[in-house]
Each structure stands twice: as structure tokens, then as C-alpha cells.
């Protein structure tokens, strides 16, 4: 057993208490701890090293990854330290969000389809292949879509709505800008898209009948909502039983200039907030992952979230 002073030092930092709480019931890798806490690898590794030195955390390797968990306590003193650490962790402001993110990360670990997609996406741009492009893949996937009734909320000028309308049974595009709605409606008419309708309205109370669509899309729109949670509740009401919501939006960031440059109300969203709001709105089978990261500063990251009614 490590010395009492060493154990006390190891547990004197709030970040290490967060890590202890995350390892209470699960083995977690450094990369997963990074995603949950949004801290850098070196910082997390340093904290884990101190906890291991105090014999409060143990690790094991699996392939290229190392997993950490709370040490199996064999002495009463060790048990007391760990229990005190957990009690302290529960009092931290980060604790509820950490637990939501932990649940999401562990669920995704078991999603082999998501793991495979991440591997494919990582290889896609690594080497040139004649005729291979995301544009071509998009055209292929668009044609696989079944005929659905779709609501595109916060549609802007309707670029995504136009694409979907070429395969969907019906698309209702909603935006709160009269100019955008007029522009989109005119363009849809010019392109002969009779199944695409533009309506003036907002995300929190879209002018669409309840239980009337199979799919709701919020593409880079939720961060313009006054009350994102209310917008997600409204989206749930629009769906028929078994219908799905898909949203693309920014991960929480610190680029405050986005408020003036792009009119953003929210500087992206934390994964834990989206998970909580989706659950509270009534969605099930929720999926949430980071699907893109820009190479140039401020390195915006894009979240993809989905749920079923």
C-alpha cells in the first residue's frame, strides 16, 4: 500500500477526482478520457501516473491501447481513500456531464459499425484514387434513401432540402427568414421540385402538423435557436412513431467572434447537453459522435446526433 501522504496528494486535485469517478465502474482508455473531459493527452497521462504511483489506479494493455480502472483495494485504508475520493467527485460541477459522456463513450465502443466508419473515414483522404470523392459517395447514398416525408428545420436557402427532395416523398423546409423562404421557394419552382415546400417559422415552434413526418433534420441550425431543448422537443412532436431525428452542429468551442460573424446564439454544444436534451425530449436509441474537425483555426468540430421516436 502506498503511503498515506502520497495517496492524499494524489487525491488533492479536482481533475484526479474526476478521473477516479470515471473509473469507478468501467475501464477507460486515455483517448476516451480525453473525449469525456476535453483535456489533452499529456495532462491526463500525468494525472493517471500520479494515481498509479499512489496505487489507486491500475492499467492493462489491449493491443495498442491501455485501459485504466480503479485498483482492487486489499486494505481498509485504500478502500477509505477511494470512497472519500468518490464522495468528493460527486460534489464537482463536472460530475453530471462526465457521467453522461462516459455512458455515451462506452455505448459507442460497442458499436462496431461506428468503429468501422471511423476507420474508413480516416483512410479515405489518405491516398488519391481516380474518381473517388465524397461528392460521388453522396450521390450514391442519396439514391439509396427510401421515399420519406422530411422536415428540414432551419433550412436557410434550402440546399439540403433540394437534394433530399429529389428522392424524398415530400420535404418541408422551415426558416425564420422571409428572404430565405422566398429565395428557396423560387428556386424549387424553377427546378420543378413540386414536392418541396418552404414555410416561414422558427425551430422552437415549426409550422408543421404533429406526427406528420418520418425524418427531421437540423443541419447547423440548432446553435441559432433561443432554446435548443425546446427545439428538440418540438422536433420529437413532428415525428411519426419510429421516425428519426438527425442533427449536425458544432461541438462546444470558444470562438466568440462567431456571434457577430455568423449570428450564432450558442458557441456549439457539449455532448453531455445534447444527450440530456435528446433524452428529455423523449428520443431513444440516441447516437452522438464527432464526425469532422477543420484543419484551420479555430478548428471547429462537427457533432452528429440522432435519435428515434
At 174-216, the pLDDT tens digits run 999 999 999 999 999 999 999 999 999 999 999 999 999 999 9
User: What's residue 71's pLDDT?
Assistant: 87
Question: What is the average pLDDT value for the chain, to the nearest integer?
Answer: 89
Asked whether residue 90 falls in the same domain as residue 125, the answer is no
Which of 26-30, 135-139, 250-254, 257-261 is predicted least confidently?
135-139
In a domain, 104, yes or no: no
Q: Does 176 share its domain with 236?
A: yes
158 & 240 share domain: yes
Q: Which residue has the higher pLDDT, 74 or 21?
A: 21
Closest among 196, 204, 289 to 247, alpha carbons compared: 289
Range of the domain at 89: 4-94
Are 89 and 171 within one domain?
no
Beta partners for residue 245, in sequence order:
216, 307
C-alpha cell, 293: 474537425
Residues 6+ apart with CB under 8 A from 281: 229, 232, 233, 235, 236, 307
Task: Provide the CATH number for the domain around residue 239.
Answer: 3.40.50.150
Are 38 and 70 in the same domain? yes
DSSP secondary structure string, 191-231?
Answer: TT-TTEEEEE--SSS-SS-TT-EEEEEEES-GGG-S-HHHH
Asked if residue 146 and residue 270 are part of one domain, the reply reads yes
CB 274 within 8 A of CB 288: yes
Within a domain: residue 260? yes
- Residue at which a domain ends, from 63, 94, 125: 94
Q: What is the pLDDT of residue 308?
A: 97
Are residues 26 and 152 located together in one domain of the fold? no
> What is the pLDDT confidence band of residue 33, given thresholds at 50, 70 and 90?
very high
First to last CA, the chain: 51
Q: Looking at the structure, do residues 177 and 266 belong to the same domain, yes or no?
A: yes
277: pLDDT strictly greater than 90: yes
Please check whether residue 106 lies inside any domain of the structure: no
Query: Are residues 129 and 25 part of one domain?
Result: no
Q: Are residues 177 and 287 in the same domain?
A: yes
Q: Report the pLDDT averaged over residues 54-83.
A: 83
Instruction: Determine, yes or no, domain membership for 75.
Output: yes
- Least confident range from 19-23, 107-111, 181-185, 233-237: namely 107-111
- Domain co-membership, 186 together with 259: yes
**Which of the listed residues 94, 124, 142 is the one where a domain comes to its end?**
94
Share of the chain above pLDDT 70, in %: 91
Handedness of CA 225, 227, 233, 238 (dihedral sign): negative
Where residue 59 sits, what CATH number does that domain have? 1.10.10.10
Does 32 share its domain with 156? no
Residue 105 domain flag:
no
The number of folded domains in the chain is: 2
Amino acid at each position: 500500500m502506498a503511503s498515506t501522504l502520497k495517496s492524499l496528494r494524489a487525491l488533492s486535485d479536482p481533475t484526479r477526482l474526476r478521473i477516479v469517478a470515471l473509473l469507478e465502474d468501467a475501464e477507460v482508455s486515455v483517448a476516451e478520457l480525453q473525449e469525456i473531459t476535453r483535456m489533452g493527452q499529456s495532462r491526463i497521462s500525468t494525472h493517471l501516473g500520479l494515481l498509479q504511483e499512489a496505487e489507486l489506479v491500475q492499467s492493462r494493455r489491449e493491443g495498442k491501447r491501455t485501459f485504466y480502472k480503479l485498483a482492487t483495494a486489499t486494505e481498509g485504508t485504500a478502500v477509505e481513500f477511494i470512497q472519500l475520493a468518490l464522495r468528493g467527485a460527486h460534489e464537482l460541477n463536472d460530475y453530471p456531464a462526465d457521467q453522461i459522456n462516459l455512458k455515451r463513450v462506452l455505448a459507442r465502443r460497442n458499436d462496431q459499425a461506428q468503429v468501422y466508419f471511423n476507420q474508413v473515414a480516416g483512410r479515405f483522404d489518405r491516398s488519391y484514387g481516380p474518381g473517388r470523392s465524397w461528392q460521388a459517395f453522396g450521390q450514391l447514398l442519396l439514391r439509396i434513401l427510401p421515399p420519406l416525408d422530411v422536415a428540414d428545420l432551419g433550412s436557410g436557402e434550402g440546399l439540403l432540402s433540394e437534394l433530399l427532395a429529389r428522392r424524398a416523398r415530400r420535404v418541408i423546409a422551415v426558416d425564420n427568414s422571409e428572404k430565405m423562404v422566398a429565395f428557396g421557394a423560387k428556386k424549387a419552382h424553377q427546378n420543378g421540385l413540386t414536392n418541396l415546400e418552404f414555410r416561414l417559422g422558427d425551430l422552437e415552434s415549426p409550422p408543421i402538423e404533429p406526427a406528420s413526418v418520418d425524418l427531421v433534420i437540423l443541419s447547423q441550425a440548432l446553435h441559432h435557436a433561443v432554446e435548443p431543448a425546446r427545439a428538440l422537443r418540438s422536433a420529437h412532436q413532428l415525428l411519426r412513431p419510429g421516425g428519426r431525428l438527425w442533427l449536425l452542429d458544432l461541438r462546444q468551442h470558444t470562438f466568440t467572434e462567431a456571434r457577430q460573424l455568423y449570428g450564432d446564439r450558442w458557441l456549439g454544444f457539449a455532448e453531455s447537453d445534447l444527450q440530456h436534451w435528446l433524452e428529455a425530449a423523449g428520443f431513444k436509441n440516441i447516437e452522438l459522435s464527432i464526425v469532422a474537425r477543420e484543419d484551420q483555426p479555430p478548428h471547429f468540430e462537427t457533432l452528429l446526433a440522432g435519435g428515434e421516436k
